[in-house]
Structure 1
Amino acid sequence: MEIDSETMGLTMTRLIGRRLLEMIPLILGILLVAMLLVPLMPGDPARAMAGEDAPESAVEAIRQQMNLDQPFFQRYFTFIGDLLQGDLGQSPRSSLTVADQIVAAAPVTISLALMSVLLAIVLGVGAGILAALRRDGVVDRGITAVVALLQAVPPFLVGLVLVIVFAINAAVLPATGFVPFGEDPAEWLRHIILPAFTLALPVAAELARQARGSMVDTLDQDFVRTLRAKGMSESSIVFKHVARNASIPVITVLGLNIGGILGGTAVIEVIYGLPGIGSLTVNAVGARDIFVIQGLVLVGGLAMLLVNLVVDVSYGLLKPQSRS
């Protein structure tokens, strides 16, 4: 058994190492996309940063500060060199570096994303398992109807309903603002729960649909009949065997939807007044702050690569034959 554990550990280490090496060209591609955003932006970013009435000398100074006077590939390799030194640049509009702005905004978005993922897993997987165990019954039909409704309704409308019910009518939760977890965990939870539910419910609906289908298919397998014939309890069959075998498609759907959650934070943070990366992105795009935009594109791309790595590792742990 110890040998098997060592072999599994070595295999997983090789898998992670191989995936990390495969990320290198992807990261270079993300950096290239971030740089390509500059010529695609309408107007002159330097003029937008300096102001329409600024003298040409001020515009030229900002252009040099933003390296816009350099050829494209020279700026690209300069960007890579600065990045290797931990330098994402400094916005001409702010005394803070890009890294400082992202670090300041990241806890808000991380809190929102993690809470949303947790709620989506608990609600979605729980509802899917319950529907599968009560197949074709009233509970199954009710969950299926709610899932269809949540998938059809836009998330911002879900958020509007939640705000009206819990923030305006019941007045039990705040509609805007954010309190760091370290300052007051209870207030952090009160401020984060509504936006997290807004992001989580559509994903929970998709997870519930996938979990129900996977559970139903697995429950019909021959090995489940064999376990029942041996007298194993239904709870042991469901949670020790069926859930594990049915989890792979659910993890796949969750991995795909995490990208949607990360992308959805931009809208949700603006709606709920959260000072996270989403709000920072909207403000940077409006101000044509290319250093901040490039840094945010890089961070977003790295986040998705990390999510894909976690999904790959989960496959290897849950389904050993998938390790390759």
Structure 2
Amino acid sequence: MNGAATQLGRLVLTTVTVLLLASMVTFGLGALSKSNPAATVLGETATEQDIAVMREQFGLDQPLVERYLTWLGDALLGDLGRSWFTTVPVSDSIRQALPVDLSIAALALVLAILIGVAAGVTAAVRAGGIVDRTVTVVCSVVATLPPFVIGIALIVALALKTRLFPAGGYVAFGVDPLQWLRFAFLPALALSIEVAAGIARQLRTSMVAALDENYATGARMRGFSHWRVLFVHVLRNALSPTLAVIGMAMPLIIGGAVMTEKLFNLPGVAQLALQSAQRGDVPVVLGTLLVTAVIVLIGNLSVNALQVLLNPAARR
């Protein structure tokens, strides 16, 4: 356990370091934009004195390092500033939009794991056969398709043709869980397909290799059933590299949400960031980028921690 605790401590330290660097890059990009909210908000009739007063209110007259430290300190306390145009707290805007992304991303991850594990195990059990080759070909093809292309195909097939699911919109889970599932299923499925393909290919490769290991052969010689060897001995060892694929899938799911939200008309964080970027609302853009980075890093940290706990070799 000491080894696991040490490794987990290193993972947390690495995550905090990456998050700090991400905050620096995020704030630096905002500073490089050279947006002048004072002039934009006040309009063309504003005098230089009016603009100077509003820049002081926004804190834009301070040195860059001081502005960053102030912004980071406030962010650690949950204060991401206010919108330059609406004066609404950024944290409030994100709090309203974030449940949309989190619920759909969670459903997408569940679908990806279910589809990927089922396909990977099936291909491994039928290694070298027609099922194995079919799964491999299908996974290779769908892995090249971006989520918005898959989303369009799903809308045509399952929304317009068969009308099984709505083509767009959103209902909160707390309002009506069944309606939430109907609206969230297609965007979640569009986000999950590419990840499921990666999981299936990695799990299939790991399980085929694990089935030839000495411990699997020894388990069969001791009279254990094929299914016990497969699911108790082989699958657990094959999960470790598969968990790495799931960890790397976090940015794919979050990044794919931008186009998916637009395609399915979802009021999520990606649309909030996109609309804010188009009008130059830097505080909102910075807030959404920072929150997105935190979500991705926490997801990766959770997967890495699970990998360390499941596989003793990963602790080394």
Q: Same fold (TM over 0.5)?
A: yes
Q: Which runs of 4+ in 1 moved over 6 A?
A: none
Q: For residue 271 of structure 1, what is the amino acid of its counterpart?
A: L
Q: Contact 1:30/1:297 (CA < 8 Å) preserved in 2?
A: no
The one of 252, 259, 280 equivalent to 1:288 is 280
Q: For residue 226 of structure 2, what is the amino acid of its counterpart?
A: E
Q: CA deviation at 1:297?
A: 1.8
- Establish whether residue 46 from structure 1 lines up as the match of residue 49 from structure 2: no
User: What TM-score results when the alignment is normalised by the length of structure 1?
Assistant: 0.91
- Establish whether residue 66 from structure 1 lines up as the match of residue 58 from structure 2: yes
Q: For residue 35 of structure 2, what is the amino acid of its counterpart?
A: D
Which residue number in structure 1 is paired with residue 91 of structure 2? 99
- Establish whether residue 198 from structure 1 lines up as the match of residue 209 from structure 2: no
Any unmatched runs of 5+ in structure 1? 1-7
Q: CA deviation at 1:85?
A: 3.3
Q: May I ask how many residue pairs the two structures share in their alignment?
A: 315
Q: CA deviation at 1:312?
A: 2.1
Task: Judge which range, 258-267 or 235-244, deviates more.
Answer: 258-267
Question: 1 CA distance for matches of 2:76 and 2:230?
Answer: 49
Q: Deviations 1:282-306 (Å, cap 9, x if unpaired)?
A: 1111121111111112112211221
Question: 2 CA distance for matches of 1:238 and 1:322?
Answer: 21
The one of 232, 246, 267 equivalent to 2:238 is 246
Compared with structure 1, are the counterparts of its residues 54 and 174 closer, same or farther at alpha carbon in structure 2 (3 Å cutoff)? farther
Q: CA deviation at 1:177?
A: 0.8
Q: Contact 2:37/2:84 (CA < 8 Å) preserved in 1?
A: no
Q: For residue 72 of structure 2, what is the amino acid of its counterpart?
A: I
Task: Judge which range, 20-29 or 249-258, deviates more.
Answer: 20-29
Q: CA deviation at 1:66?
A: 2.9
Q: Deviations 1:31-80 (Å, cap 9, x if unpaired)?
A: 21121112332x63416742764524554454333322221111111112
- Establish whether residue 161 from structure 1 lines up as the match of residue 153 from structure 2: yes
Question: 2 CA distance for matches of 1:289 and 1:270?
Answer: 19
Any unmatched runs of 5+ in structure 2? none
Question: 2 CA distance for matches of 1:236 and 1:48?
Answer: 69
Q: Deviations 1:177-233 (Å, cap 9, x if unpaired)?
A: 110101100000000000001110011111111111111111111221111111111
The one of 297, 301, 309 equivalent to 1:305 is 297
Q: For residue 69 of structure 2, what is the amino acid of its counterpart?
A: F
Question: 2 CA distance for matches of 1:301 and 1:234?
Answer: 43
Q: For residue 222 of structure 2, what is the amino acid of its counterpart?
A: K
Question: 1 CA distance for matches of 2:192 and 2:54?
Answer: 41
State the secondary structure of the residue aligned to 1:211: helix
Q: CA deviation at 1:11?
A: 5.4
Q: CA deviation at 1:101?
A: 0.8
- Establish whether residue 187 from structure 1 lines up as the match of residue 188 from structure 2: no
Q: Contact 1:48/1:287 (CA < 8 Å) preserved in 2?
A: no
Question: 2 CA distance for matches of 1:91 and 1:137?
Answer: 58
Which residue number in structure 1 is paired with residue 132 of structure 2? 140
Question: 1 CA distance for matches of 2:60 and 2:99?
Answer: 31
The one of 113, 118, 143 equivalent to 1:126 is 118
Q: Contact 1:90/1:291 (CA < 8 Å) preserved in 2?
A: yes
The one of 26, 35, 38 equivalent to 2:27 is 35
Q: CA deviation at 1:323?
A: 2.5
- RMSD, matched Cα: 2.0
Which residue number in structure 2 is paired with residue 3 of structure 1? none
The one of 164, 177, 183 equivalent to 1:172 is 164
Q: Alignment identity in percent?
A: 37
Which residue number in structure 2 is paired with residue 55 of structure 1? 46
Which residue number in structure 2 is paired with residue 150 of structure 1? 142
1:261-276 equivalence runs, <5 A: 261-276=253-268
Compared with structure 1, are the counterparts of its residues 67 and 238 closer, same or farther at alpha carbon in structure 2 (3 Å cutoff)? same
User: What TM-score results when the alignment is normalised by the length of structure 2?
Assistant: 0.93
State the secondary structure of the residue aligned to 2:82: coil
Task: Judge which range, 79-88 or 243-252, deviates more.
Answer: 79-88
Q: For residue 44 of structure 1, what is the amino acid of its counterpart?
A: S
